[in-house]
Chains A and B, each alone.
Chain A
Amino acid sequence: MRLIQRSKPASVYYVVAFLSSLATVLAAVYALTGGADAVRVFTNINLQMFLRVFAAVCVMGLASVFSYRSGVWNIGQEGQAVMGALAAIAAPDVITALALSAAVATGWIATPALLRVWLGVNEAVTTFLTFFIAVYIARYFVENPLRDLTKKGFIVSVEAPFLETYAALAIALLAAVGVVALYRARVGLYLRLLSSGEEVVKYAGKSPKLYTALALLLSGALAGVGGALEIMTREAGRYMTLQQVNTGFGLFGISASWLGGLNPLGVLAASLYIAWLYEVGINLKTVGMPALVANALVGSAMVWGLVGYVLYRYRVVWR
């Protein structure tokens, strides 16, 4: 088997990848539930929850697009989301929460971004490690400065301000439009050029270092907002516990970005699918399947997204 570069990329393979992912999920769920509960698992959807998950996944997916579209590898969205959610918990109202979460998450990714730009330290590894650090820092905040002392016997943080789901949806759509507009503007052009190689940006007369840093910082900021949206739109339990500081939405966002072909509008579509997968995962839990099955389903969706990208660029020749 070998891969031959296409003369023209074929977007249709993202559809193929999506259908393959869907087939994988259907097969896996049928196999796990024995078919009896399968229909209920697929169709039992809480619209309110579906929409709020969609909004958060969408923003996280756009965060991933900022990174991967520029050929830099932020894989610490989960950690940035934790920091964003932490900022939301600390904030008194929704507006402050959103601004603070973006600021804190930008600060959180600044170290990997600056190390990458100045010293060429691989950003994939540092963003991955900062996720572990974020988890411990969040636990510290849950246990000490942000602990809700009125809840005796439980170690939980104070509650984040409440955000209506439709407001979160508006923010997600606004973010998508913003990314589209940015990619049409000159700054966005250089951001996209970066994936063709740093030299290309350099010969276009711009500093590749500046745009690399910008791509990572934008990615981190959006991931932070995504984390804040997730925790603020919950119907109840808008707090963190020691065991549950991260929610896995970073992985959801990465999957949405690849299934969406690293295109902001594609991400909107893919986020619908990922949000549905989240519902399927919850339904699986109610029929007694472990929670990790949901993550495995989303993980398989991500791998299909990666396959879609390879088929979009290459022809597979068997010989």
Chain B
Amino acid sequence: MALETIASEALKSGVPILLATLGAIVGQRAGVLNLGLEGVVYLSAAVAAAVGPPWGFPVAIVVGVVYNLAYYTLANDFALNQILLGLAFTMVGYGVGSQIAQGKIGQPIEKYIIHGVEAYALAIAIALLVHFFFKTRLGIAVKASGDDPPSLDLMGVDVYTVRKLAGVVEGVLASAAGGYIILFYYGSWADSLPMGWGSLAVITAMVSLWTPTLAVGAALIPSTFVSLSYTLQHYLAISPHLLHTIPYIAPIIALTTARLLAKSARYQPPKWLAKPYVREERV
């Protein structure tokens, strides 16, 4: 019984992590280490909570995409430091998000009933879509913009446009995750509920070695431990605070293992990850 609950919960909470991870994979493959993803997930979740069904989900996606695109423009066209700008976008996302959803604290939000297996199957289908996206012309341009943007530029492809398109894809996936967290998973709002999901996705993208098909498995690592940490509280006499650290420690261990195992060149990080590309600058 307990095992079944854990599995079902892990699949349900795995869906937003997988979606956001796929977004992070697209972004990081394009060479952008977007830590503002946390803010995008948070803000779109807040918007979904504030608007509520049925329009909450689409509105959340629109807001999330616009927010993510603002990050991509500042981080690429204006070459602001990707990592710290991401931190700023996370802070602003927390601030604005908790403000706009303030009225929904303690109020139940009508929740769509979903089943873990089916929801995750749908998310896997999206993972396959992303997998095939990387085979398209645009997908190859996205990968090139992360591995060798000067060459991509020489080929006559505008790196900044490619990265912004990747940012739109990432924004759609991440804000879908944010909307899901409130409208499908929790069905309520509290300031701390959508926290941490985006950051977990950023690290899960690295655990899955920037490969959408591997992300299907990797996304279940944090979600399994999240549901495990809640279930274990009923059985173990360990402080819940210590149990809550497990979903954050597990991905770090997983990332270490992944880096130890993946020696082949195919699974190396994008070479320009987190480096700004400024045209004609000597490297």
A interface vs B, CB < 8 Å? 1-5, 73, 75, 111, 115, 119-122, 124-126, 128-130, 132-133, 136-137, 139-140, 143-144, 251, 254, 258, 290, 292-293, 295-296, 299-300, 302-303, 306-307, 309-310, 314
Contacts and interface: CB of A to CB of B under 8 A. Distances in A.
12 contacts: A1-B77, A75-B35, A122-B274, A125-B35, A128-B35, A132-B196, A133-B249, A258-B84, A292-B94, A293-B95, A299-B91, A306-B80
Interface in B249-283: 249, 251-252, 255-256, 259-260, 269, 273-274, 278-282
Interface stretch (B14-22, B134-142, B173-181, B199-207): B199-207
B214 interface: no
What DSSP secondary structure best describes chain B's contact surface?
helix
B244 interface: yes
A299 B282 CA distance: 31
B245 A292 contact: no
B78 interface: yes
Interface string B186-206: 000000000010011011001
Contact of A124 (B78, B245, B274, B282): B274
A75 B80 contact: no
B202 to A, nearest CB: 6
B83 interface: yes
A75 B83 contact: yes
B99 interface: yes
Interface in B80-138: 80-81, 83-85, 87-88, 91-92, 94-95, 98-99
A184 B84 CA distance: 27
Contact of B33 (A3, A122, A295, A303): A122
Given A129-B203, A254-B87, A292 B99 contact: yes
Contacts of A296: 91-92, 95
Given A129-B200, A296-B95, A302-B87, 10 more contacts: A3-B278, A5-B278, A5-B282, A119-B259, A120-B269, A129-B199, A136-B244, A144-B239, A303-B85, A310-B78
Nearest to A124: B83
B251 A129 contact: yes
Give the contact-size bracket for chain B: 35 or more
B248 interface: yes
Interface of B: 33, 35, 74, 77-81, 83-85, 87-88, 91-92, 94-95, 98-99, 196, 199-200, 202-203, 206, 239, 241-242, 244-245, 248-249, 251-252, 255-256, 259-260, 269, 273-274, 278-282
A314 B99 contact: no
- Counting chain B CB atoms within 10 Å of each CB, the highest count among A306, A309, A314 belongs to A306
Looking at A130, A136, A143, A292, which has the most chain B CB atoms within 10 Å of its CB? A136
B99 A137 contact: no
Contact of A310 (B80, B95, B206, B260): B80
Nearest to B251: A129
A1 B76 CA distance: 12
Nearest to B203: A125
Contacts of B81: 306, 309
B85 A121 contact: no
- A126, A129, A133 interface centre (most CB from chain B within 10 Å): A129
Contacts of B251: 129
Contacts of A293: 95
B84 A75 contact: yes
B95 A132 contact: no
B248 A299 contact: no
B257 to A, nearest CB: 10
A133 B79 CA distance: 31
Given A3-B278, A124-B35, A73 B241 contact: no
A140 B92 contact: no
A153 to B, nearest CB: 20
Given A3-B278, A5-B281, A306-B81, A121 B259 contact: yes
Contacts of A121: 206, 255-256, 259
B8 to A, nearest CB: 25
B84 A143 contact: no
B245 A133 contact: yes
B37 to A, nearest CB: 11
Contacts of B202: 125, 128
Contacts of A73: 83, 274
A4 B79 CA distance: 11
Given A119-B256, A124-B83, A299-B91, A139 B241 contact: yes
Contacts of B278: 3, 5, 314
A303 B77 CA distance: 15
List 5 tightest A-B contacts by C-beta distance, closest first. A292-B95, A140-B241, A119-B259, A139-B241, A306-B80
A309 B202 CA distance: 26
A209 to B, nearest CB: 15
